[in-house]
Chains A and B, each alone.
Chain A
Amino acid sequence: EIVLTQSPGTLSLSPGARATLSCRASQSVSNNYLAWYQQKPGQAPRLLIYGASNRATGIPDRFSGSGSGTDFTLAISRLEPEDFAVYYCQQYGRSPYTFGQGTKLEIK
């Protein structure tokens, strides 16, 4: 099974700042099938990015994904108050699908 390791565990930033979140895979992710999700308390995860770099429907362009193989990044430019949440990466290129442990983005 592919293990995904996210860093940092917690990121403290101010609104308007830029956030960079990392996801490293223990093996190469097939077809770069790497997704990013945002989760707020009491809610289901929401798909932000699929295929490593493609924004899902309705996702603002301040969210961007990059990377390939084993190293992936989610960047959020100009943080808005509603962006403070927990972010997860997930690989869906090979069964079993796996998730990272999450990065909590908190207001500084």
Chain B
Amino acid sequence: QVQLRQSGPGLVKPSQTLSITCAISGDSVSSNGGAWNWIRQSPSRGLEWLGRTYYRFKWYNDYAASVKSRIAINPDTSKNQFSLQLNSVTPEDTAVYYCAREEARHYYYYGLDVWGQGTKVTVSS
């Protein structure tokens, strides 16, 4: 059974960097199939996809245009996890952040089938 466990601070000051880690059990971050996503949810923006990382004989990233200049999603193969870093945060980045697996087999994609528990992040001084 695949599980994702998130960890990270709940409060970040404006202009600083938001960092959340998603630890994977039951699957591998470097599996040559699916992808590892970050999504956030706020009352004003609803569910917003932020980006993903995936391995296809080398690592790729794919980011939403709205955060592309400020985001990094990095895999950590030694710990079987991946992380979100969002720089220069403002109160608009206040949201619940989720990691999620996007399963794929034989080049068919199955949607976001496993989610982390969510991390509520408030950006405030």
What residues of chain A have their CB less than 8 Å away from a CB belonging to chain B? 1, 31, 33, 35, 37, 44-47, 49-51, 56-57, 88, 90, 92, 95-99, 101-102
Chain A interface, DSSP helix/strand/loop, else mixed? loop
Q: Determine if B115 is an interface residue (Cβ-Cβ < 8 Å).
A: yes
Chain A residues whose CB sits within 8 angstroms of the CB of B37 once the complex forms: 97
Residue of A1, A96, A102 with most partner-chain B CB within 10 A: A96
The listed residue (A35, A98, A101) touching B111 by CB distance below 8 A is A35
CB of A21 to closest CB in B, whole Å: 15
Contact B112 A35 (CB under 8 A): yes
Contact B64 A96 (CB under 8 A): yes
CB of A104 to closest CB in B, whole Å: 12
Q: Determine if B49 is an interface residue (Cβ-Cβ < 8 Å).
A: yes
Could you write out 20 A-B pairs with CB less than 8 Å apart? A1-B65, A33-B109, A33-B111, A35-B112, A44-B118, A45-B112, A46-B115, A47-B111, A47-B112, A47-B113, A50-B109, A56-B113, A88-B47, A90-B47, A92-B109, A96-B64, A96-B65, A97-B49, A99-B46, A99-B48
Question: A-B pairs with the 5 shortest C-beta distances?
Answer: A35-B111, A50-B111, A44-B115, A99-B47, A97-B49
How far is B37's CA from A92's CA once the two chains are assembled, in angstroms?
12
How far is B63's CA from A1's CA once the two chains are assembled, in angstroms?
12
Contact A98 B117 (CB under 8 A): no
In the complex, chain B residues 43-73 whose Cβ is within 8 Å of any chain A Cβ: 46-49, 62, 64-65
How far is B47's CA from A97's CA once the two chains are assembled, in angstroms?
10
Contact A50 B113 (CB under 8 A): yes
What residues of chain B have their CB less than 8 Å away from a CB belonging to chain A? 37, 46-49, 62, 64-65, 98, 100, 102, 108-113, 115-118
How far is B84's CA from A12's CA once the two chains are assembled, in angstroms?
38
Nearest A residue to B99 via CB reads A44
How far is B48's CA from A101's CA once the two chains are assembled, in angstroms?
10
Chain B residues whose CB sits within 8 angstroms of the CB of A88 once the complex forms: 47
Chain A residues whose CB sits within 8 angstroms of the CB of B118 once the complex forms: 44
12 extra interchain contacts, Cβ-Cβ under 8 A, other than A31-B109, A50-B111, A99-B46? Answer: A1-B65, A44-B98, A44-B117, A47-B111, A50-B109, A56-B110, A56-B113, A90-B47, A92-B111, A95-B62, A99-B48, A99-B49
